[in-house]
Structure 1
Amino acid sequence: MTEVPATVIVIDDDPAIREALGSLLRSVGFDVKLLASVNDFLKSGRPDGPTCLVLDVRLPGQSGLEFQRELSRENIRLPIVFITGHGDIPMSVQAMKGGAIEFLTKPFRDQDLLDAVHVGLARDRVWLENEKALATLYASYESLTPREREVMVLVVAGRLNKQIAADLGVSEITVKVHRSQVMQKMRAKSLPELARMADKLRQASEKPQDS
């Protein structure tokens, strides 16, 4: 299966800076999208593969920092490297507290930007891989029947087959059949692995869902 290429999205309202950054990033092999505003990004959407934003702090309309806060409120994870010609310490602190990869003041070294982008893309790859693994886990869980889900909950809680049978009012043989089906459908090789899967599902259900 072909890996989806990484993309760097540059959002800066200065055409000369956009083009210069685009040339730099393309020179090291990145796919690059150049945009003039946050609104342009919202219209085009993010690519499917690993993505990193190179975002100017001061933009027409919604500023870079305002956009970062909006992403945080919506629980959308997207690595951001801030660039600015008018940075100050409170602004940089706010950006970094908001989860920015880096806060670079123009003029900055090309290598500093490239290093920050590499970090951002690596972070996004991990996020995307985790999301894919969780989606696969959800699909496996959704394939369970209601009774199999009941058995799974009791199994990972440490209940024995005999106890589960009494809890559910079924025979111990029936519990063993359901338990075997749970292990097979969840692709769990052991009880500890099934317990870890259940814990991941529980943790994910307690988090706000990404928009």
Structure 2
Amino acid sequence: MKLMHETPTVFLVDPDPRFALVVDRIAAQMKINFKQFSTAEDFLAAYTSGTPGCIILEFRLLGISGIELQSRLATDPVGLPLIFATAAAELPFVVHVMQHGAISVLEKPVSELALWDAVQQAIARNQRVRRIDAKHSGVRKRLARLTQKERQVLELIVQGNANKTIARTLRLSIRTVETRRHHIFRKTGTQSVAELVRLVIQSESRDESS
């Protein structure tokens, strides 16, 4: 992931030059970057996963549609929030994109105030997701240091098992369990079972409060 302080970019996927001027003006007022693409294909060719910002796009595009682009980006865990802006905001399309995570659907001609609010909300969401992902990435790296045998011991520790029980379950000597336990604490930077359990919970959760 790129650095958290990197300036966000508003990506406009829409060939409309007049609307591009509006979005560019708002981006300039917000002191963030602006890039326009006429097609989803052009955007996908240039986009790098993890880039901070948001996307404003039209439903109806030549080639890949706005809805299909939304579907493709859904697999990115830190993907950009989407704002749809269109003159053809038919109800079934609106319902579909909102159910799949769009920030909002704005009808052209778009109110600059509504667009400003939507972009602000999208940028805030993206920053929150990136912050959570960075936190969990650090946790996952600590756990990734463990060997497969240490992970087996870790799983049983987290379940609340004592060394004797772990040794019996894995058919190991107590001394071997104690050695692996020591390695687990050292590699994960934890000093107690409670800290270790908390670390594992954090690695499995996408909740910012964990």
TM-score (norm. length: structure 2): 0.84
Unmatched segments (≥5 aa) in structure 1: 205-211
User: Which residue is 1:161 aligned to?
Assistant: 163
- CA separation in 2, counterparts of 1:46 and 1:115? 25
2:179 is matched by which residue type in structure 1?
Answer: V
2:37 is matched by which residue type in structure 1?
Answer: L
Q: Give, in angstroms, the shift of residue 46 of structure 1.
A: 3.4
Q: Within the alignment, does 1:39 sit opposite 2:41 as a pair? A: yes
CA RMSD of aligned residues (A): 2.3
1:23 is matched by which residue type in structure 2?
Answer: R
Counterpart selection for 2:199 from 197, 200, 210: 197
Counterpart selection for 2:8 from 6, 11, 15: 6
Greater Cα offset, 2-11 or 182-191 = 182-191
The number of aligned residues is 203
Aligned partners of 1:38 and 1:67 also within 8 Å: yes
Q: Secondary structure of 1:99's partner?
A: coil
Structure 1 residues 47 and 176 mapped into 2: Cα distance closer, same or farther (>3 Å)? Answer: closer
Identity of aligned residues (%): 30
Q: Within the alignment, does 1:53 sit opposite 2:55 as a pair? A: yes
Greater Cα offset, 75-84 or 183-192 = 183-192
- CA separation in 2, counterparts of 1:189 and 1:119? 39
Aligned partners of 2:143 and 2:188 also within 8 Å: yes
CA deviations on 1:187-209 (whole Å, 9 max, x unpaired) are 334423322433454579xxxxx
CA deviations on 1:27-82 (whole Å, 9 max, x unpaired) are 2211111111111111101364422001111212122122113333x455331010
Q: Which segments of structure 1 move beyond 6 Å, counting only runs of 4 or more?
A: none
CA deviations on 1:106-135 (whole Å, 9 max, x unpaired) are 122212111111111121122222322333
Q: Give, in angstroms, the shift of residue 96 of structure 1.
A: 0.7
User: Which residue is 1:107 aligned to?
Assistant: 109
Unmatched segments (≥5 aa) in structure 2: none
Q: Within the alignment, does 1:19 sit opposite 2:26 as a pair? A: no
- CA separation in 1, counterparts of 2:157 and 2:56? 47
Q: Give, in angstroms, the shift of residue 87 of structure 1.
A: 1.4
Counterpart selection for 1:134 from 136, 143, 147: 136
Aligned partners of 2:58 and 2:84 also within 8 Å: yes
